[in-house]
Amino acid sequence: MSIVKQARSVRQYWQAEQLANDDALFALRETLTSHSQRSLAKHLGVSQSAIAQRLRGFTSDYDTNPYFTLRSLAEVLAQELREERPDLSACLRLVAQAMSDFRRLRYARDRRTFLRQPPTTGDGRWDALVAAVAAREARLSGMDIPVWSEKAEFFLDQAWFVTQSPGLRALAFVESPADFALRNVYLDPAELESV
């Protein structure tokens, strides 16, 4: 096995382990909405203080804000794309809002939750765009690019210009952010800014 494949495998395992730890914390906290720490500790065979210590400092921006995740973004995009005439501008506004939401997340756990692999939008082009969002936001925030976003299925064979105006294609080709252009997705970066 080549060093590149080994490194990718280690990275994939590490990301999966982090997500599993996050899942355990979220599940533990969710369970405590209907059970006391004492009763849960008794059921798990651990001390109440072990439960309290595990949850110490656990806060999430998602508790108080209805921020997007890539999952919720993909679900809303899929719904919009099923319309008879999907509104390209509305879809791009949703993407811009999701990117803005990611940048507001203060905790690494929440950023990892945001970056989890989403379901398909039903359109390979939009799936590639969502993968580009994941790669770009992870990279810009200093996180590892999610392994799922590097799969071949998230790279288009043909160029897709996310614009209704053919005259803007040259600008999109030149100005498109690298994580999008790598996937053959071209758009004006101004479309990705939330107002």
Which alpha helices (H) appear in 141-181, and where do they start and end?
169-175, 178-181
Question: What is this structure's pTM?
Answer: 0.77
Helices 48-55 and 37-44 cross at an angle (nearest 10°) of 110
- 99 and 182 assigned to the same domain: yes
**Domain termination site, one of 36, 58, 80:** 58
> How many domains does the structure of the chain reveal?
2
| pLDDT(2) > 80 | no
Sign of CA dihedral 120, 122, 128, 132: negative
Instruction: Return the pLDDT at 46.
Output: 78
Helix or strand or coil: residue 160?
Answer: strand
Strand (E) or helix (H) holding 20: helix 3-31
| pLDDT(84) > 70 | yes
Q: Residue 168's domain spans which residues?
A: 66-195
Confidence of residue 23 (pLDDT cuts 50, 70, 90): confident
Confidence of residue 134 (pLDDT cuts 50, 70, 90): very high
Strands (E), the chain: 160-161, 185-186
- 101 and 51 assigned to the same domain: no
Interatomic CA distance for residues 174 and 188, integer angstroms:
9
